[in-house]
Structure 1
Amino acid sequence: MAACCFTNPLEVLKTRLQLQGELRAKNQHTIHYKNVVHAAYVVAKNDGPLALQKGLVPALWVQLIMNGMRLGTNLIRQNSQNNEGNLVFYKSVIVGGTGGVVGQYFASPFFLVKTHLQSQAAKAIAVGHQHEHEGTWSAFKKIYHTSGIKGLFRGAGASIPRAFVGSTSQLTSFKYSKEFLNQYDYFSDKPLLTSFCGSMVGGVAISVMMTPFDLIMTRLYNQPVDPQGKGLLYANYFDCVIKIFKTEGVSAFYKGVGPMYLRLGPHTVLCLVFWDELKRLYDKFLQ
């Protein structure tokens, strides 16, 4: 959660870039945000500097639920090891992925509201559908009043592949990197440095692997719906994939990869290093 406060502005910029040019062919839409730096300038200029922290409250809840579940399942990683104490790949994938999926599903209502709030912008720079929520709790009330509990979990299915791929790639690469580095004497007695290097690898892995799934989820979360709660732009997950591919091309699936890495890189480092250090202190306390 501490990491989220520092990286949330990048999540805002990523959301704007992912929604820019939605279902429009290249060069057939206005480009409000040229890149992550330009996007930060445009948002601060038009919406004010505080707009870079839009959606912070639901984002904190997302991290609390998701990371609590993912890192909690990471505690049983000994079940992912063989008799020599080395990680077994497929077991590590299952453990990491399962924790991510469960956490993402229960965090989905907060992720939905976070996406709505972060996409809201001044008319001059608006991209994607504008839900016009007044704040976090008013957004929950509005969605619940309109569509009930089902509306709060709209798009939750789209978050599952994102969570599985993201959690698996991040935690597996983190654990394998540390295991590799600990083979060398230089790293074996430097747990903090080992955690830092391992988390750097985890940040790259999750950014590259998760961006396409994240973009699809953002589009499905943010699309307008009819009175029955059905999406007006995309009928389902695969319809979303096909429409993006046909209208925007393959490269569209990597819209926002810049801020995705800039966010998940430091976020992964902070989160996993904090986690490793706290766990180490806890283990020392128990001894």
Structure 2
Amino acid sequence: MSSSSGSNAPQAPPVHIPKPIKFLFGGSAGMGATLFVQPLDLVKNRMQLSGEGGGQKMYKNSGHAIRLIIKNEGPLALYNGLSAGLLRQATYTTTRLGIYTTLFDMVSGPDGKPPNFLMKATIGMTAGGIAALVGTPAEISLIRMCADGRLPVDQQRGYSSVFNALVRISKEEGVVTLWRGCGPTVARAMVVNAAQLASYSQAKQFILGTGYFNDNILCHFVASMISGFVTTVASMPVDISKTRIQNMRVIDGKPEYKGAIDVLSQTVRKEGFFSLWKGFTPYYVRLGPHTVLTFIFLEQLNRLYRQRYGNSS
């Protein structure tokens, strides 16, 4: 029997989005955002490797890096490693969202009451750490593909795609190499998730408390940029150690670095303490917009799903 029209008509129940679809949309939203921020990822990686070991710095700042890359390698070089960036989102973001949502439901009260802030931070760190473990092969491929253009032609690895990188790394250096730098990668993910969750929540609360903002995209963007700054400061030393370990070569059976602590100590000793935040600007500028774009794409995918399946009887 059809319901009567008018203002007193019963509201249709909200459309339930199945969990696998939520995970798919989360990974897809992250991949969509990566299409816009990949050049910043490339510049960040290049700057973190510039001046490595106390050598001459290739780039003075982010703008100089972009100009040199376009001049020497062409505009499309800013998208080197895009396939690896997309695979990283498909593996890392999907896994993180899936684990976070599952753990969130497990620790929520029987009445659906959400967990407290500390528990949210804990499951966020857990989800981020496990997801980083899954996403490390794509991460190491991305680092190497982004770094290739700064090397002389005879030293370039020349991966044609992320899948070519994965196959060649496995054959030439062993499957275990796909998880090189896994420790700092997981540590970075845990730091990022903890810092993002705490700072985003506090920033949003502060912004809404000023009375000048409503809870909309503008508020989310400003909160994301504040959160991005805090997260960048907290996570960059771990990130630069991850980047250098994953890009290092093993010469005559001897790796360039013994581990993450060795990277940090060598970097500080040879390049100065503040070089731990090398590539700060592109890292920061990438982090906030990537978060906002991911949420925008995710909301649109959810909206389209509800429109499509909310009308089906």
C-alpha distance in 2 between matches for 1:204 and 1:80: 30
- Paired residue secondary structure (1:33): coil
Report what 1:240 is aligned to. 263
Give the letter for the 1:200 counterpart. Answer: M
Cα-Cα RMSD: 3.1
Cα distance, 1:185 vs. partner? 7.5
Asked if the contact 2:41–2:282 (Cα under 8 Å) also holds between the matched residues in 1, the reply is yes
Q: TM-score, normalised by structure 1?
A: 0.83
Are residues 182 and 8 of structure 1, via their aligned partners in 2, closer, same or farther at CA, if it must alter by over 3 Å?
same
Deviates more, 1:32-41 or 1:173-182: 173-182
Asked if the contact 1:70–1:167 (Cα under 8 Å) also holds between the matched residues in 2, the reply is no
Cα distance, 1:100 vs. partner? 1.0
Give the letter for the 2:42 counterpart. Answer: V
Superposition map of 1:64-83 within 5 A? 64-75=90-101, 77=104, 79=107
C-alpha distance in 1 between matches for 2:50 and 2:88: 24
Report what 2:180 is aligned to. 154
Runs of 5+ unmatched residues, structure 2: 1-30
Report what 2:230 is aligned to. 205
C-alpha distance in 2 between matches for 1:43 and 1:122: 8
Report what 1:61 is aligned to. 87
Deviations 1:238-284 (A, max 9, x none): 22222112222211100000110111121122123433565577789
- Paired residue secondary structure (2:53): coil
C-alpha distance in 2 between matches for 1:146 and 1:177: 47
Asked if the contact 1:199–1:273 (Cα under 8 Å) also holds between the matched residues in 2, the reply is no
Report what 2:63 is aligned to. 37
1:266 aligned to 277, 286, 289, which one?
A: 289
Runs of 5+ unmatched residues, structure 1: none
Cα distance, 1:39 vs. partner? 0.6
Give the letter for the 1:35 counterpart. Answer: N
Q: Which has more radius of gyration?
A: 2
Are residues 80 and 275 of structure 1, via their aligned partners in 2, closer, same or farther at CA, if it must alter by over 3 Å?
farther
Deviates more, 1:172-181 or 1:5-14: 172-181
Give the letter for the 2:145 counterpart. Answer: L
Cα distance, 1:171 vs. partner? 3.0
Asked if the contact 1:87–1:176 (Cα under 8 Å) also holds between the matched residues in 2, the reply is no
Asked if the contact 1:3–1:270 (Cα under 8 Å) also holds between the matched residues in 2, the reply is yes
- Paired residue secondary structure (2:283): helix
State yes or no: 1:90 paired with 2:118.
Answer: yes
Deviations 1:50-83 (A, max 9, x none): 11000000101111222222333443557479x9
Percent of residue pairs identical = 32
C-alpha distance in 2 between matches for 1:122 and 1:198: 35
State yes or no: 1:17 paired with 2:47.
Answer: yes
C-alpha distance in 2 between matches for 1:217 and 1:249: 18
Deviations 1:151-203 (A, max 9, x none): 21111122111110112212333344445556687756x44444334323332
Asked if the contact 1:195–1:276 (Cα under 8 Å) also holds between the matched residues in 2, the reply is no
Are residues 183 and 116 of structure 1, via their aligned partners in 2, closer, same or farther at CA, if it must alter by over 3 Å?
same
Asked if the contact 1:18–1:215 (Cα under 8 Å) also holds between the matched residues in 2, the reply is yes
Report what 1:143 is aligned to. 169
Give the letter for the 1:106 counterpart. Answer: V
C-alpha distance in 2 between matches for 1:174 and 1:283: 27
C-alpha distance in 2 between matches for 1:176 and 1:74: 20
Report what 1:6 is aligned to. 36
